[in-house]
Structures are given as C-alpha cells and as structure tokens.
Structure 1
C-alpha cells in the first residue's frame, strides 16, 4: 500500500491564497482596532507618549504573531522566506530604503526653501530636536514601519507573487493596503478622511511595492516607510517637536509627493540588477 508524500498532503490542505490573505488582513485590521479601543479606554483620545509606546509594542506583537502563525499554519512555509534577510544586508537594505525617500525629499525641500516658497522654524534646542527625532524613529519603527511592512510587503506580497506576475502583485497588495489603512482611519476618525486616506494608502502601497520588487527585501520598504513617517509626524503632525511651516501644502508636495514620484527610480540605482516583473515566483518549501 502506498502513502502520499507529506509535502503533497500539506499542499492539498492549504487554503486558497485569497482565503489566506483575507484571514491575515482581516486579523490585522481587527488587531489594530482592538489596540485603538483599549488604549483609548485607558488614556483617552489624545496620543500621549505612554499610549503611543504601548500601542507600538502591541502592534508589533499582533503583526508578528499573526504573520508567524499564518506562515506556518496556513502557508506551511518558513517565515524566513518572506524577504527578511539578516546581518549586514538587512542594515544595508534598511538604510538604502530610507535614502530612497530622504534623497528626493531633501532635494525637493532644498528647492522650495531656496526659491522662497517655504519657511520652516523649529522652536527647540539641537538636543531637543535630536531627542525628538530618535524617539520617533523608535516609535514609528515599532508601531508602523515594521509591522505594516511585515504584513503587506512581507506576507501578502510573497503569497501574491507565488500566484501571479510580480507587477500585478504590487498592484493587488497596494489595493489591500489601501483597504486596510482606509478602513482603519474611517472607523476611528470618521468618513471625512475617506478620500485623503484612499489616495495616500494606494499611492504609498504602489511605491513601496515597487521598492519591494526592486530590492527583494522587506527591510528596504521598512526603511522607506520609516523615513516618510518620521518626517511627516515631526513636521506636519507636530508630534514631540514644535515645528512651524509657512505652507504645509508646499512642504508636503516638496517632500512627500516628490519622493513618492521618484523613489522607485532612486531604488533602481541603489539596487541595480535585473528585476523580475513578469514571472511568478513559486513559493516552494526549501530543500524539497
């Protein structure tokens, strides 16, 4: 009597990719909403440092547990195949990803300042400014950049590229990211943010999806996400640092919009090579 290969049995009982992605994205949305509800109950509506820190740690735990459990139980694949390299490469990809946002944003900002279109004033000492930047780097990394990139440019993207061309996977994961982010904001802030968040999350999803494809690394997208969020939260949101800009719209266009439009091109120089845009990448079990 013959017995089916264990690998074949594992493949037979795997849920379809759409079902697996629905479980993970829905689970992430419920997790983020649960964190918001619990921290609001404890600390109120304002984003105090204590609430921010607790929310960050909770988001990291939720994302990590969700991805590890889904990867092992639903995908039956190792977590290490999601694009999370280690050691020097991880650091290099993280820094390069940040530069792919910071370089074009810095150029755009320099032009706006030199042309007199924008003025920026920081009401803080150098030590206070550096402290605020370092604090936000840690909070954004733990609360937003790593958890969201692990979920969408790690788990979601890798599952999609196993089933379709990578260029299409970039678009699909961007749509899922848009639905996740917009739903989260609409539920917590109301319908007034709908259009703004739809545009923001779709655009961001496409850009970081392209960087994920070009670099082959989740750390690259974490770096990009980190740079973008830290600058915006420091200047536009005014969190932890008193910054005054003469025209917020000009600042956003000169930095964020310029970076969104050019970051994939910058990434192409930072990670030169022949990217695979058209061939699906089978998610095989290593060694089988």
Structure 2
C-alpha cells in the first residue's frame, strides 16, 4: 500500500479538481435559478466555491507529497514570496500576442479600427481578473502544474510526467463536461477534437513554463493573461465583455487563431529554447569541473 501512495495522491488531486469545477458550476447555476443572480454574481459564486474547495485540499495533499518524496522546499513554488514571477508569465503572454498582432497587421490580415478608452473596460477587466484568478488560473495551476505534476515526477521522468500531466488536464475538462451533461447542465465546453488538441497544447505550454522558471506563479500569470486577452481583446462578444480594441479580420476567427497560436506555440518555443540553453550551460559547467579535477 505504501508503494501505491503516489497513485492515491494522484487520484485524490485529480478528483478534487473535477469535483471542484463541477460543484462550482452546479452551485452557480442553482444560485442563478433560485435567487435570479446576474451573470457576474453567478461567476463570483463559482469562483469562491472553486477556490474554497480546491485550494485548501491541494495544500493539504501537498504536505503528503512532501512526506512521500522526502523533499520539502523552504519556499514552495506556490508561496506568495515568489509572486514576482507572476509578472514574468503575464509579460510573456502579452509580448507573444502583441508580436502576433504586429505580424497580422503588417500582412493586412487584421485592421485595428479603434482603441477604446480605459473607462469603458478597465473596471470590468479588473473584476474578471479576480474571478478568473479564483475560478481558473490559481486552483488549476496549483493542482495540475503543481501537485499532480510533482506526484508524477516522483515516479516518472520529466518528459513522461509532462505528457501524463497534460493528459490529466484533458481528462479533467472531459470529466467535468460529462458530469454537467449528466445532471442536465449545459457543458461549459464543447468536447470536440479541435478543442482537445487546443487544451493539450495549452497544458504542454504551461507545464514547460513551470519547468524553466521552477515557479507556479509564472504559469498562473500566463494562464490568467491568456484568459483576459481572449475575453477583452479577441472575442469579447462571446463573453459579454467590453472590448479593449475593435478590429476587422480578413477571415472570421483569424484573430483568435493568430493570438492563440502565438501565445501557445510561442510559449512552447521560448520554453524549449530556454530549457535547452540551461541544459547546455549545465553540461559546460560539468565538463569544466571535470577538466579541472
């Protein structure tokens, strides 16, 4: 039984994420129907339920992970003391999407028609940042790129753990959608091949970010920035959000394809380059120390 502790922790963490997401959406829908809550109020309920359930359980499970591995860092990767790395993730996502828009504009694929004044969208953006942080970015990254990955890394190689964690990410989304359909709720996402491929790539990108920064706050910042860029720049009409910019695209969906592609593919490429450079530098250090000994 002791040798199976890693599997029990893996199942506990995965079930917590699935249960948290499902109960959060269920509670939000019930509150909306019973009390006639507006959309934002329902989202607040979902965010509070999600973080209120998932975060304490994940932090508790993390203590068992440390005991299992025998390694407890003085400053865990999720510690508030490492919060400055949050900016790294946000700036990287913003830089990548900006680069994508610059390319699209120079090629005439996208024409920016108007930049809207901050008083039209700033308050809504701030509220959505807090909700998205509590409902999606923080609990998901703590659980998936944090606790679940660390359990897998205890048993498997880095790259196999990365792949397995990404598959678990897809499994969480699929399981929640199935549970929602089972109880008569409209699934939050459409489980189709394009969407599965998208979250596979997104999960891979986020885990690679954690690998080279060795910090969960980077992935939280990157995840949150992607959500807000999508909701306030790319497809604000789908979320009822006030747009930061209004633009015309030569083909429908082109802006989303360019922005998502640049953020995810660009994030993967940047991460692989940095990881490769760090590995090369470590090998040089080893070779130098061997030659001196």
With the shorter chain as reference, the TM-score category is: 0.7 to 0.9
Q: What is the rounded CA distance, in whole Å, between the counterparts of 2:217 and 2:280 in structure 1?
A: 17
Instruction: Report if the CA contact (8 A) 1:100-1:264 is conserved.
Output: no
Structure 2 unpaired stretches of 5+: 181-185, 282-293
Corresponding position of 1:279:
none
Aligned-pair CA distance for 1:95 = 0.8
Q: In the aligned structure 2, how far is the partner of 1:128 from the partner of 1:98? A: 22
TM-score by length of 1: 0.79
Work out the CA distance in 2 between the residues paired with 1:49 and 1:207: 29
**Contact kept? 1:15, 1:74, Cα under 8 Å:** no
What is the aligned counterpart of 1:170 among 156, 162, 181?
162
Match of 1:42 in 2: 31
> Is the CA contact 1:68–1:79 (under 8 Å) kept in the aligned structure 2?
no
Shift of 1:202: 1.0
CA displacement, residues 93-137 of structure 1 (integer Å, 9 cap, x when unaligned): 111112222211110012212332124556954212222222222
Instruction: Give deviations 1:210-262, integer Å, cap 9, x for gaps.
Output: 11111111111101101111111223234331465534521112211112111
Identify which of 218, 221, 226 aligns with 1:220: 218
Q: Are the equivalent residues in 1 in contact too, given 2:204–2:268 (CA < 8 A)?
A: no
Quote the offset at 1:14 in angstroms: 6.7
The answer as to 2:264 corresponding to 1:273 is no
Provide, for residues 6-35 of structure 1, a one-character-per-residue CA deviation record: whole Å limited to 9, x for no partner: xxxxxx747432222112111221221112
- State the partner residue of 2:145: 153
TM-score w.r.t. length of structure 2: 0.78
After superposition, the Cα gap between the structure-2 partners of 1:14 and 1:122, relative to the gap in structure 1 and judged at 3 Å, is farther
Count of residues in correspondence between the two structures: 263
Secondary structure class of the residue paired with 2:83? helix
* Match of residue 25, structure 1, among 1, 14, 26: 14
CA distance in structure 1 between the aligned counterparts of 2:37 and 2:195, rounded to whole angstroms: 20
Unaligned runs of 5+ in 1: 1-11, 277-288
* Superposition map of 1:180-219 within 5 A: 180-188=172-180, 189-190=186-187, 192-219=190-217
Work out the CA distance in 1 between the residues paired with 2:206 and 2:154.
19
Aligned counterpart, 1:231 = 229
Check conservation: 1:182, 1:194, Cα contact below 8 A: no
